[in-house]
Amino acid sequence: MNRFYLPLLAIALLLGAGPLALPARGSDLNNAIAELKKNPNDESKLKAFWQAVMQEVVGIARTDPDKAEEAFNKANDALKAAVEKAEGTNKARMQQFQKVMPRVKSMIDAGRKLKELVGKPAPPFLSKVDAWVNGEPLTEDDLKGKVVLLDFWAVWCGPCISTFPHLREWHEKYADKGLVIVGLTHYYNYTWNEKAGRASRSQAKVSHEDEQEMLKQFTKHHKLKHVIAVTKDNSVSEAYGVTGIPQVVVIDRDGKVRLIRVGSGPKNAHDVEEMIKKLIGGKA
C-alpha cells in the first residue's frame, strides 16, 4: 500500500479512468502530450494523457527514477501549457491534476533513494527491534554470511498477504542453503479475530504484548515459517526508503543491498527469486 497513491486514485476517479491499475503497454507520453496540446478541451485526450503519465512516470518511478523524472518534466510542462488553453470542466480537472504532480515527483524521489541503496552496505536494523515473533531473536552472527531477505509488511495490507505463498516457498527451498527471511512490521493496534480468521483494528488501546500475541496467531494462521521483527519506531523503514508496502530488500552474503522491489505481483516475485538463486550460489 502506497501513501503516494491516494491522491492519484482521486485523479483517476475524477477522470473516470478507473482505479490504480496501470494501463496496458502502448501508452505514448509524447503522443498524448501532442494530442492534449492540440485538443486541451477534449476529455478523452486528458484521459489518454493521464494514462501515459501513470505508465511512463508512475509505473517506473521506483525502477528507473531518472527516466521517470525526464518523462515527468515533459508531462508537467505540457500540463501547465494546457491549463492556460483549457476551459470549463477540463480546466478544473487539469488544475486538480496539477495539485497532485508534486506527489508524483515525490514518488520519483523515493525511487531514487531506493536506487542509491543498491550496492551499498545494508542499514543495520537489529538494534531497532522491540520484539521477535514466530522464532528466536536474531543476532549479527545469525545473519553473517547469509543471504537476507527483509520483507516490510503489515497485517492490514492485502498486497502484503498476497506475497505470503512466495515467502513460504522461498523459506522452504532456500533456508537450508543460507537464506534468512525477516518480516519487519510495526504496532498498529490490532487484535486477532479468531472467528473471522484475521487481524482486526481495535477501538480500544492494545498493549504491545497483546499485539505480539496477535502476530503469533496471524503467522500461525498463514503458515508463515520465517521470523517476524516488530520495530520500535519508523527509523528502519526510513533507512530503507520505505514509502509503500510490501517492500522486499535482498541483501547478499557480504551485507550489501542487491535488490529492492516494492509491491506484489509475478514480475517482482520473479525478480526476487532470481536474485536469491544468484546469491545463494556463492558470494556476491
The predicted-structure confidence for 70-119, as pLDDT tens digits, reads as follows 999 999 999 999 999 999 999 999 999 999 999 999 999 999 999 999 99
Amino acid in the structure at residue 253: R
Q: Is 159 exposed, middle or buried (0-12, 13-18, 19+ CB in 10 A)?
A: middle
- What confidence score (pLDDT) does residue 62 get? 86
What burial class does residue 39 get, using C-beta atoms within 10 Å of its C-beta: 0-12 exposed, 13-18 middle, 19+ buried? Answer: middle
Positions of the chain with pLDDT lower than 50, given as ranges: 3-7, 9-11, 13-26, 283-284
- Res 81: pLDDT: 95
Neighbours of 93 (CB within 10 A): 19
Is residue 231 within 8 A of residue 211, CB to CB? The reply is no
Q: Looking up cell 505470503, which residue turns up?
A: 164
Tell me which architecture the domain covering 126-280 has in CATH: 3-Layer(aba) Sandwich (3.40)
Helix segments in 57-87, DSSP class H: 65-85
Domain with CATH 3.40.30.10 in the chain: 126-280
pLDDT of residue 170: 98
pLDDT of residue 49: 93
The per-residue pLDDT for 63 is: 86
Q: What global pTM score does this model have?
A: 0.83
Peptide bond preceding 124 in cis form (omega within 30 of 0): no
**pLDDT value at position 267?**
92
- What does the buried/exposed string (b/e) look like for 252-273 if buried means 16 or more CB atoms within 10 Å of the residue's CB? bbebebbbbbbbbeeebbebbb
pLDDT value of residue 202: 95
Residue labelled with grid coordinates 517492500: 247
